[in-house]
Every structure is written in structure tokens, then in C-alpha cells.
Amino acid sequence: MVEDNLKRILKELPPEVKLVAVSKFHPSEDILAAYSAGQRRFGENRPQEFAAKAAALPSDIEWHFIGHLQTNKLKMVLPYASIVESIDSKRLLDAVEKWGGDHDKVIDVLLELHLGAEETKGGFTEEKIKDILSVGLSYPHVRFRGLMGMATNTDDISIVEADFARIEAFKKHLDERYNLPVFNELSIGMSHDWPIAVRHGATIVRIGTAIFGDRPKLGSL
Ligand SMILES: *Cc1c(COP(=O)(O)O)cnc(C)c1O
């Protein structure tokens, strides 16, 4: 089933768009099923689960961390993550810079733009992102690779379109204003809205349910 789902999505996804298979809450066997079908890029959102899976699974997996990250959990995530997509506060960014300095590593990150209507969702305002990028040189151990965003969780396609159009335009504005060398990625689009995201310039889509099925409830793993 996982293999069929992957194949179906990859057939529709333009080849230049990177697929992150979001495996959070799903057991390692499901990840290995996708791995056997050729998938190498996976996403997780809980530090402990992320570290356990990354340590146990094949080392050529490219792990994306996509969840809220507390500064005291960096040591579980940064040794394994090829990119942290969910940098959502200055405090976290400063802590990642410090960890990178301490470990002589440069960490690839996306800055999360607060996009959806939900107050509960994380992310920076556009102003804060501009502030950070204008002092980008003060983060020698962080490589800013682009933006991440989550559209409003709604069936109203016009709202989702408007959210993605906003982050697409903001990305374009940043490209013109700051001319950052590797600020290339726009990570938008999940199971229910990724075709819309692709029309708005997504370079990364993060798809969980449409590949692995519904997530098992907490505690039943
Ligand atoms: C869970 C999650 C996804 C995947 O969601 P699906 O609806 O299952 O595709 C994508 N992005 C983030 C940040 C997530 O937490």
C-alpha cells in the first residue's frame, strides 16, 4: 500500500519537486517499505521519535525535522537532520547557531512563516524574517535555505490558494531584496493541498497521510 501510494504521488509530482515522506507516528517498518520502494527523504516532528528512528534506520536516509523544536532537544535532532524546516523563533535560531559553533557544523534550515489563520500555528511574521536575513552574516553556523509554511487547515481552496500565493510572493521579494546564494527552497504542501502548493512554486512537499495512511493514535505504537 505504501509503495502504491508513493508511486501514485511521484507520477503526478514534477520531478524537480522534492518529496518528504512524513513518517511521524508510523513504525519503522512503514519507513522501510517506502525505503525499499526507493524513497530516501523522510520527515519527523518529535525529537525523541526522530532520534530513535534516525539512529536505527539506514544511514543514507535524508532526514527533515519538521516539528516544533525546544532548545533543550537540539542534541536529539541536529546530529541527524539534513535540514531543520521548522525554525520558528529567534531563540531557537540562536541556539542552533550556538550548537553549530560548539560542534563545528553548519546547519541547513528553513524559516517558518506563520501562514495559516490558526493562532496556534507557529512561525515568524514577514517582518521578523526580514530582520533575520538582514543580519544573516551573524549566523556563520546556519545556512538559510528557504521558507516553510503551512496553509490554513480548511476545505475552502480559495483560502489555501491565498496562503500559498502569499508565501510565494514573499519568497520572491526576499530573493530580490537579499540575493541569498542558497535560499532556494519553498516547503509548502501536505497530503490534502500539495497540488495547489506545486502551482505556487513548492520545491519541497511534505506528505504523510497520503503515503502512510492515517496516523496511529498516541500510545498505540
Ligand atoms: C504532519 C505534518 C505534515 C504531513 O501532514 P499530512 O496531512 O499527513 O500529509 C506536513 N508538515 C508538517 C509540518 C507536519 O507536522
Nearest Cα residue to 78 out of 49, 106, 40: 106
- Number of other residues whose CB lies within 10 A of the CB of residue 23: 28
- Mean pLDDT for each consecutive 10-residue tract of the chain (221 residues)? 97 98 97 98 98 98 98 98 98 98 98 88 94 89 97 95 98 94 96 98 98 80 50
Query: Is the Cβ–Cβ distance between 220 and 8 less than 8 Å?
Result: no
* Predicted model pTM: 0.96
Q: How far is the CA of 190 from the centre of ligand 1 (A)?
A: 6
Question: Which of 190, 191, 211 maximizes ligand 1 atoms within 8 Å of its Cβ, making it the mutation to test the pocket?
Answer: 190
